[in-house]
Amino acid sequence: MCGRFTNRVTWREIVALYRLSVPTSPERNLPARYNICPTDTIDTVVEEDGNRALVPMRWGLVPWWWKKRVKDVPATFNSRAETIAEKPMFRDAFKRRRCLILASGYYEWQSTPTGKQPYYFSTENGAPLTIAGLWDEWKDIETGVPLRSCTMIITTANEFVGKIHDRMPALLTPYQFDSWLSGDAGPESLRPWDQRSLQMYPVSRRVNSSKAAGDDPSLIERIEV
């Protein structure tokens, strides 16, 4: 699973990388975030009516047909690539609504005799990571207010990531953005990413707490273990 990530991607980088339709995507101030957790609001790239925009969404998908309260939704911040086309929570979104989730890196944990040790994964050259996602829009049964939400797709880990965890985000290259957003790409496109592009290193166990400050860049500093 992937339950925590970071985002330091700037507005200009986002516009250039994802080819946003600038007239429909007004410039935003995007502060760096170092501890993004499930149910937080995150930035996603969606394409509607030929326009590509950056849209804030709840991280944890609520399907359009959900009849209970939002707090009763099970953990849907991750969805497995192998089952997204069949699982009731995700299959409609897989058919109709795809998104790209942007990240600078993500955390995974390794069990040790002294407790869980977090590791930070990112690209060696500092380039953003783009994770395949699904989204949906649900109307709150209590307030009637529409809520957009998303899930991050995970797949089998490559050999490099597998040293720490058996799953990893389903990462996409820029060449795959169009086919994923259009719905042409199927689950077979969600393969483990080229491990030569990734780096990992241990970071402070302060990351073990979801309450660690989200604006603290020291969370991603390498430590010795």
Which residues belong to the active site?
A: 2, 108
Cα 64 to Cα 146: distance, rounded to the nearest angstrom:
10
Q: Which of 61, 47, 80 is nearest to 147 (CA)?
A: 61
Cα 199 to Cα 197: distance, rounded to the nearest angstrom:
7
**Amino acid, single-letter form, for residue 223:** I
| 106 torsion bin: left (phi>0), alpha (psi -120 to 50), beta (else) | beta
Pairing verdict, β 51-59 and 146-156: parallel
Residues 136, 148 contacting (CB under 8 angstroms):
yes
Cα 19 to Cα 38: distance, rounded to the nearest angstrom:
27
Give me the half-sphere count of Cα atoms (radius 13 Å) on the Cβ side of residue 210: 7
Tokens of 149: 């939400």
